[in-house]
Amino acid sequence: MIDVRDLRHSLQAKGVRLIAVSKYADDDAVERMIAGGQRDFGESRAQRLRERARRWPACRWHMIGPLQRNKAKYIGRHAAMWHSCYDLETAEAVARHVCNQPLPVLLQVNISGEPQKHGIPPDAIDEMLAGLRRIPQLRFVGLMGMAAREGDVRESFALLRHCRDRLGDPSLELSMGMSQDWPDAVAEGATMVRIGRALFD
């Protein structure tokens, strides 16, 4: 198991933010991580995110999983950032529950080409962005992607970076890299990595 403090600091030195994915972790494990100074956490289920955001309001809770529309309010109200936005109807549903500041949103792009993976294809980004920009409660801040388990991981991450570069805004975030592939993601320019098992197992 990697020490969360060491990993966070070495990533920080490269300008990369560590999202500790706590979806399989119990509350005690989350508590230990908070004691270690960790503040950014990822959850893939909306209800769990709400519970934990209420319990630990000083932390930032990132939604990283597919979202059912009837759970949109949990994300609109409680998420610090929504990484897994890939359809406009769900985005509109989330927007209706955002209060105060606009919610930072990443577009999830299917960079592995696997049909079972969520996300929009790279060539649909412009159209999706045009729709997203019409929703004032959501603020587009970058792209999220997942590499295939097998095959050329580097190539998938490079593809997401190209998609970002094409948008012409170098300040946009790139959320990519998990337990087994985050070094490659960082090498390809990730600004956020989402690591679960390697931290909590």
Ligand X SMILES: *Cc1c(COP(=O)(O)O)cnc(C)c1O
User: Does 178 interact with ligand X (rule: CB under 6 A)?
Assistant: yes
Among 8, 17, 71, 194, binds ligand X (CB under 6 A): 194
**Shortest Cβ 104–ligand X spacing (Å):** 16
Q: Say whether 106 sits in a helix, a strand or coil.
A: strand
> Total binding residues for ligand X by CB under 6 A?
13
**Shortest Cβ 136–ligand X spacing (Å):** 26
Build a one-symbol-per-residue string for 50-69: x at contacts with ligand X by CB under 6 A, - elsewhere. --------------xx----
Among 22, 44, 90, 112, binds ligand X (CB under 6 A): 44
Q: Say whether 185 sits in a helix, a strand or coil.
A: helix
Question: Which stretch in 5-13, 121-129, 158-166, 188-196 sits in contact with ligand X by CB under 6 A?
Answer: 188-196
158-177: which residues touch ligand X (CB under 6 A)?
none
**Shortest Cβ 88–ligand X spacing (Å):** 20
123-152: which residues touch ligand X (CB under 6 A)?
146
Long-range contacts of 84-93 (CB under 8 A, 24+ apart): 84/108, 84/118, 84/144, 85/132, 85/138, 86/118, 86/119, 86/120, 86/128, 87/120, 88/128, 88/131, 88/132, 91/131, 91/132, 91/135, 91/138, 92/135, 93/69
User: Does 117 interact with ligand X (rule: CB under 6 A)?
Assistant: no
What letters, b where the CB count within 10 A reaches 16 and e where it falls short, cover 8-30? beebeeeebbbbbbbbebeeeeb
User: Does 197 interact with ligand X (rule: CB under 6 A)?
Assistant: yes
Q: How far apart are CA 151 and CA 7, in angstroms?
A: 26
**Shortest Cβ 184–ligand X spacing (Å):** 13
Residues at the interface with ligand X (CB under 6 A): 21, 23, 44, 64-65, 146, 178-179, 194-198
